[in-house]
Structure 1
Amino acid sequence: MAINGTSAATEQTIKDLQSRLDWLDEERRKQTHKVTELDQKLTLQEREIAGREQRIQDLERQLSSLNAQIGRIPKIDNQLAQFKDEIVQMIEQYDQRRIQSEAEMDRLRRVEQEALARELAALRKETNAIPQLQNNMELRIAEEARLANLIGKQKTEISTLRNKQEAKVSEFAFLEEKEKLNNRNITELQTAVVEINKRWENAFSRMDLSNSAILRLEGSLQGITDKQGQLQESTKSWMEQIQIGEYERNQRLEGWRRVLEEQEDSMNRFNKEFIKFSDQYKEAKMAVQTLSSWQEEIEKQQRESSEVLRVEISRMESRWDDFRHENDKQWRNQGVDTEQRWNTLNRHEREVREQIDILDEKLRKLEQEKDLLWRVQTAQSDALKQFPRMWLEEVDKAIAQNPNRRRQPTLVPVREEFD
């Protein structure tokens, strides 16, 4: 009975061991399956890690390129600053050239205005003499008219005096007939009177040329007329005072001769003066005609100069307006272009900075994911390293246990991280 009991216990133990071995085999198969799954997961993790490393390398390359671009940003800033300085310098040079051109145009305009002012002043000085010449010519014309009237009056008076002289000659002839005793003296007187008349006729023809000579001649003729009256009286008393009368007549004839010579000289002088005055009048008349044509020419030149000046001023004003309009237009276009460039550069800079911020954020996330992955992989590696040791320890404990004791095998807990 004892043997039967022992054999039954042994069989029971063997069955327990058999069941435990089956359970252990099942657990081993499960563990093997789990290890296979873990290997697969590890392979997948390694692949993911490789992909992430590839992505990290790509991101590092992108980061390097971005760093290079960021390193070029100061160069771009320097280029932009240089471009800005160049634009400012170009604008300053343009302003300087514009100021110089304006100053040069102002200088040329002032020079032209000064030249025109000098020419106009010279023309005014020359034209100022024209009214004076016109006044002088008007005065000369008036004087000529006055002289012509006086000469006409003197001709009338001379004709009257000539008639009187003829009457006196007839009286002298009557006295010659009446006074036969004094034929010789009367003949001499008649001869002297004829000579005087001849000289007077020459003087009359010359007196038409001068007013002042006629006036002097009129005074002389008046004296001669008085002397002729005295001669008539002396002729009446010729019989009483023949010797005294002869002497007086000789003296008077000598005086008349001197007076006539003086009158002849005066008439010659007045004739020369009148000829000179006539020449001067002709010259003045020609000068007036020349001055009239010259004045017309000057007025024409003044009108032409004024028209040229007006056209030139209009042309300069038009050119200045066009230049200022074109300058303002170029300045506005350049300002708009510069503003657009600055806006484009600022927008591009903002986009680059936004991309850099996005990349920095992605890099931080990748760093966090990488750290998490490394922690997970380290934990998995530690767990995989500890699992065989723990399994062997449990197997040894199971073998070392009392075979008569019924107990369930200790299960090794599996971490949820391996699922």
Structure 2
Amino acid sequence: MSANSSAMLQELGELRSRVAWLDEERRKYLRRVAELEQQLNAQERKRNDSEQRMLTLERELVQLKAQSSQYPQVDAKLQVLKDEIVQMIEQYDKRRLSAQDEAERRRRVEQEVQARELADLRKELPAIGRLQEAMELRQAEESRLAQLIGVLQNKANSFDSRLEDQSREIAYAAESEKQNNRSMTELQAALHEQSRRWEPIMGRIDSLAASIMRHESSTSSTVEAQEALRKTVNQWAEQVQLGEYQRNQRLEDWRSVLDEQQEVIEQFRREWVRYSDQYKESKMAVQTMTAWQQHVEEQQREVAETLRVETNRMLSRWDEFLLENEKRWKNSEVDDEQRWAAANRFNKGLQEQIQLLEESIRALQREKETLWRIQSAQTDALKALPRIWQEETEKAINQDPNRRRQPTLVPIKDE
């Protein structure tokens, strides 16, 4: 059962890791789409720059047309080139917009597919969480009952050992009491025998005391012996009384100890009955739990089978999704490469046309400069013509000998 639980937890961890990986792949795809959008924006900026450049060129062309209106063929060619460039730019805009719409459509479709798959996974996760919580609660309950049974068994064993010790102590105390009773009986018999023996001795002592009193004057040694004997008898009697008192005290102590042991044994008996009832209840609970455990294990097997089937289904769907995504990605890369190649070809053609246009502009600039030089030379020649005419006229007049004196000519100022 713990193996099934660990396997299910491992499978849940794998599912979560796969969901995290799927989310990471989605983020990567979104980042890739953002990069493509940035590239499209860069192309848009380049196109805007090209348009600005075209506008600049158009303004220059207008200026050139204003300066060189005598070249209608150049204007016609420039107009045709302008129309072609505008048409190419419009075609490029159409292709770019269609590619952008296609990329947006693909992105929406893939986002919808991923959202549906994530929604399916989220629908399945609560059932797995509830099952995991039920399994954790059941495991905690089983561990608690096992600990309780172990504690009860340990307490029962300790109570058994304590009851055995108490039984041995009670038996020993009973045996000690019997021995003490026998000792007391023997001691009482010995005391009775000693008192019976001491009666004639005391009579003799009295007679001896009388005889000693009668012979007191003659025998001092007999008096000393009598005093010593009396002291010995008194000491022996005191010792006998002290021993009797100590024996009674010990008997009282043993009685109190026996009473305490009886109370402890009664308490142990009540606790043993209570723990026996608890043990029976725990045993019944364990028996009831066995059926519940079998039912839970059956549910676990069913859930494990369902989880295995769903996992296989999700894995197959995931493999299909990966294959489809890989195909789409390859197709998208091929399309992007084709678009980039077409864009590069278009840019290359546009650059070539722009270079040709710049060369045409430079040729027009050279022709304009040539025209300016020719016009300047013609202007200079026209300005010098009146002066040459005047000089030749003066020379002819000066060479005529029959000429009349002419008034001084005023020179004409050059315009």
Q: Tell me if both proteins adopt one fold, taking TM over 0.5 as the criterion.
A: no
Tell me which structure has the larger Cα radius of gyration.
1
Q: Give the alignment's TM-score, normalised by structure 1.
A: 0.36
Q: Give the alignment's TM-score, normalised by structure 2.
A: 0.36
Where relative contact order (Cα < 8 A, 6+ residues apart) is larger, the structure is 2
